[in-house]
Structure 1
């Protein structure tokens, strides 16, 4: 099994990447990381990640699911990243696990996958507006599973989020 992580090139939320990645690797799941760039990406709390590829090089057929990591960089770099939105749309339409945490569920909404479905997100005026515009049904729960779509609220939910992803692979 293989999971694609999508992170912002700057200010992704470290724990939302490291906690799921560690759990997946413990379970024997290969983890590949992509961003808007191939190279060095920086977490909000000091994590430094060398990505395996840029979004331009992603072939969804190579993966069993995608995990989009939040953080303030997610809003700044990924919310309007058409390439990532297209990738997320493909994962969802192929019936693969499509997961996002913190501010990242907005990308699943932008991909057209949350209309009429329960989801959660870190509640800010901007994130609430985006989710509402894309017709997601907001639920105030740590982790929400709607079929193969998994959303989580905040860094403290990283372990439960990762466990939900593993259970749905």
Structure 2
């Protein structure tokens, strides 16, 4: 099993990345990290990650799912990243795991996958506006499962997010 992690090149939320990635690797799941760049990416709280590849080098067919990580960098770098939106659309429409946490569910909505579906996300005026425009149903729950789509609200929900994804993949 191979999961693609998508992170911003700067200011991704550290624990939203490290908690699920560690949990998946402990279960023998291969984790590949991609960003807008191939190289060094910086977390909001000091985590430094080398992305394995850039979004331009991702073939969605190579992955069993995608996990998109939030943080303020997600809003700045990923919300309007057409390549990531296309990757997310391809993975989601193939019925594969499509997961996002914090500010990242916006990307799933922008990929056209959340219309009429329950989701959760960090509730900010900007995230709420985009989710409403994309016709997603925002609910205030730590983790929401809607078919192959799993979303989580905030960094404190990272462990529940990881556990829910692992249950889904089992």
TM range (shorter): over 0.9
Q: CA separation in 2, counterparts of 1:9 and 1:34?
A: 9
Aligned-partner Cα distance in 2 for 1:19–1:148? 20
Q: Secondary structure at the match of 2:3?
A: strand
Give CA deviations for 1:115-155 in whole Å, capped at 9, x if unaligned. 00000000000000000000001110000000000000000
CA RMSD of aligned residues (A): 0.4
1:83 aligns with 2:83: yes
CA distance in 1, matches of 2:167, 2:121: 20
* Structure 1 counterpart of 2:2: 2
Residue number in structure 2 paired with 1:121: 121
| Residue 62 of structure 1: how far off its partner (Å) | 1.1
1:160 aligns with 2:160: yes
Please state how far the C-alpha of 1:106 moved relative to its aligned partner: 0.3
What is the aligned residue count? 169
1:15 deviation in Å?
0.3
| Offset of residue 157 of structure 1 | 0.3
Match of 2:98 in 1: 98
The equivalent residue for 2:151 is 151
Q: Which residue does the alignment assign to 1:30?
A: 30
- Structure 1 runs not aligned, ≥5 long: none
Question: Any idea what SS the aligned residue of 1:141 has?
Answer: coil
Secondary structure of 2:126's match?
helix
1:112 positional shift: 0.2
The DSSP-based 3-state class of the residue aligned with 2:84 is helix
> In structure 2, what is the equivalent of residue 110 of structure 1?
110
Q: Secondary structure at the match of 2:151?
A: strand
Report the alpha carbon displacement of residue 167 of structure 1 after superposing the two structures with TM: 1.4
Ranges in structure 2 where 5+ consecutive residues have no aligned partner: none
